[in-house]
Structure 1
Amino acid sequence: MKPTLIRPGGLPHSASTPVVTPLMPSVVYAAESPDALDAQYEGRTEGYTYAREGHPNADVLARRIDAMEGATGGIVVGSGMAAVTAVLLGLLKSGDHVVGGNQLYGRSLRMLRDDLPRLGIATSQADPTDVDSVRAALRPETKLILIEVVSNPTLRVADLEGLIALAKDKGILLAVDNTFTTPRAIRPLEMGADILIHSVTKLMAGHSDVTLGYVAAKDAGLRQQLYDFAVTTGLTASPFDCWLAERGLMSFDLRFDRTEATAQRLADHLAGQAGVKRVLYPTRIDHPDHARAQGLLRGRGCNMVSFELDGGRETANAFVRAADGIAFAPTLGDIGTTLSHPASSSHRGLTPEARLSLGLTEGFFRVSVGLEDPEALLACFDRGLEAARQA
């Protein structure tokens, strides 16, 4: 038998093209010569070299999200927090100052509180629903403001239009996390935000089998800084996760609309139940930012509902155990409904006093509504509420 090379190279030729994007897990890509490789690195030709610097599945996914968000040159990274990290560490330096929304995701708050200061980057927190609060937190060295359109988990709606105007007036970058709202509800870059962040893990991918993030910037120079930092620090996205997330995007609009409709029903149902202290959902008239939500989100409420039970940890435990048809898990965006308890998960790193200042009591829950039959879902919540009342 004639010996053959281990990797002879080349793919079978086909006059047709695949309907589904192929999964391409290769870490390395072979060039035909040193001159050809120079041409790639110098930008005279396009191609792949090493997966940490980019690979086809990440680029296919990034271009799909670009189209949804009205962005150009977005970058897919290994997680939502990798996207946040790329922005905060890729664009800021020692001596800079950043203002973060005071109700950001727990790990984003931890980065502001613990990690940036030890690197010489000063931080402050302010209420993104109040432009004057953010303005008061600014300093001469402030370089960036980081907010979520709808906060996690209290579902407060940022004054995005006011913050965009403030950032432009002061020459400060505005970075917006659009994970909860998604481009189905709002497209911050088109409104004037400078940087956009997504945890693709959540609603975009939608099946709890992917960990990915996305970051995009309007300015080409900022995009290059984000890309260089992501490549250097190895924030690489898995090709398989990118492939799964692209598949998830195919049903995104349908999933979002269906879960949003059920979330509205759930919010209204919970509001009428004994033992429920308050319900937070943007389209409800009793939401503190209802008027802003109607204009900014064009009447959309998204799929997240938060509510607070009377009572403490014992009540919370009883509710979760009785609502056993719902996954109790610190995540959102799954195909099924998930229930989260911020005091024991996303915001457990905060002191009890800090949690209470945000309204996060032991009876506070966040719901990511899924695709269940609405009647079955309401019945499951009713079982939990009855147990909570007994507790």
Structure 2
Amino acid sequence: MKNDHRSVTRRSSAPVSVSRPVSSPIHTSVVYRSTDADELDSQYEGRLKGYTYSREGHPNATIIAEKIDWLEGVKPEWGGGVVTGSGMAAVSTMLLGLLEKGDHIVAGDQLYGRSLRLMTDDLLRLGFEVDLADPTDAAAVKAAIRPETKLILVETVSNPTLRVADMAGIAAAAKAAGILLAVDNTFTTPRGWKPFENGADIVIHSLTKLLSGHSDSMLGYVAARDAAMNKALYDAAVTWGFTPSPFDCWLAERGIATFELRYDRAEATAARLADALGGMKGVKRVLYPGRADHPDHNRAGDLLKGRFGNMVSFTLDGGREVVNRFLRAAEHIPFAPTLGDVGTTLSHPASSSHRALAAERRAAIGIEEGFIRVSVGIEDPDQLIGEIEAAVAASRA
């Protein structure tokens, strides 16, 4: 048989098998072939299911999106959520897909640092208007609503100060005004709280964090409780190029298989760590919603039903040098601007997530120079507490 080079370069079908893989394959193809133009029309017009160009969707993105849809309680008639290349891409997809120039947004004043920058800087350049309000005070959020307000954006539990939003009051205010309520549920996760069951219209996640859980994939997710809005979100993500990597989606699917086990273990350890920190010399403040001294403890109990999460924040008694001594002494716990990893990580918001904010602005929301955020992992609790206790002691030397 004569060797036909074209038959080798153009062969793209998988070998035939009556069995199926247990683990999802990674679909790296950028393009997908169709039989003819009529079949391609049928795909674009929704009569047939299929893929065309990976910026418009690929199998690995579909798989992970369906898993998050299930966790968040997205109903089939809503059309399903959209996976993006990062958590910030998910926030941007929502804004660019659902709002237009001149629209007004009310945002929580204790959002993730980059979300705050987006609200107070970049969106203004694009013709949006934004007011910040304290999400723990529903009356303040309600007072910030204007006739041209289209959206409220809050985090259930704020990053990194762990303040708990008055979600019932905010949802009521949004409904009364006829505006959209978007909730960034990254910290809480659907294991801790389900926004769609409590009045939210849009749910956002950084899948990079707890849901994926291994600091090796960067993804975001956004979904709405309306099919037309989800189509608008999809169109925005495709047009602006917020496409997720197939490999990252595949890694996230692997990680999400153990999500609930990791979350439960880390949450239990976080509660123990918070109590231990409360008794350490050199620690002047501990923030954990499960502690009675947390400013929103009663609301957290009502809202979260005992699921207080894996995040703990505390303030060392001192400035940058004390922080540096602590971080150097905690040499076995990574100091890294991330959270939700399978292992515990330490973050210093003043020099990472919230460094773009002026010191006065950080202080106003409770982020002092000595502020440390801990994302608790699944290590042995006694070993973790011992390491942090030794590092706190070293910071006072």
TM-score (norm 1): 0.99
Corresponding residue number in structure 2 for 1:298:
305
Q: How far did 1:11 drift?
A: 1.8
Alignment of 1:170-185 (within 5 A): 170-185=177-192
Structure 2 partner of 1:318: 325
Moved over 2 A (4+): none
Shift of the alpha carbon at 1:90? Answer: 1.8
Are 2:34 and 1:31 equivalent residues in the alignment? yes
User: Hey, what does 2:287 align to over in structure 1?
Assistant: 280
Taking the aligned partners of 1:321 and 1:282, their CA distance within structure 2 comes to 28
Query: Aligned match of 1:251 in 235, 250, 258?
Result: 258
Q: Partner residue of 2:387? A: 380
Structure 1 unmatched ranges of 5 or more: none
CA distance in 2, matches of 1:331, 1:8: 42
- Residue 266 (structure 2) pairs with residue 263 (structure 1): no
Show the counterpart of 1:49: 52
Q: Per-residue deviation at 1:69?
A: 0.6
After TM superposition, the structure 1 = structure 2 runs for residues 1-391 of structure 1, keeping only pairs within 5 Å, are: 1-5=2-6, 6-72=9-75, 73-390=80-397
Question: What's the secondary structure of 2:318's corresponding residue?
Answer: coil
> How many residues align structurally?
390
Shift of 1:325: 1.1
SS in 2 for 1:325: coil
Distance 2:277 2:221 in 1: 34
- CA deviation profile, 1:110-139 (whole Å, cap 9, x unmatched): 000111111110001001111011011111
2:369 and 2:279 map into 1 onto residues whose CA distance is 21
Counterpart-to-counterpart distance in 2, 1:315 and 1:43? 60
* Distance in structure 2 (CA, Å) of the matches to 1:267 and 1:144: 35
Shifted more, 200-209 versus 372-381: the winner is 372-381
Query: CA RMSD, aligned part only?
Result: 0.8
Question: Which one is further off, 5-14 or 358-367?
Answer: 5-14
- Measure, in 2, the Cα distance between the counterparts of 1:341 and 1:149: 21
Quote the offset at 1:89 in angstroms. 2.0
Which amino acid letter does the alignment assign opposite residue 70 of structure 2?
A
Percent identity over the alignment? 63
Q: Distance in 2 between matches of 1:280 and 1:28?
A: 49
- TM-score, L = length of structure 2: 0.97
Q: Hey, what's the Cα distance between the residues in 2 that align with 1:115 and 1:91? A: 17
Distance 2:113 2:331 in 1: 26
Distance in 2, matches of 1:187 and 1:135, equals: 22
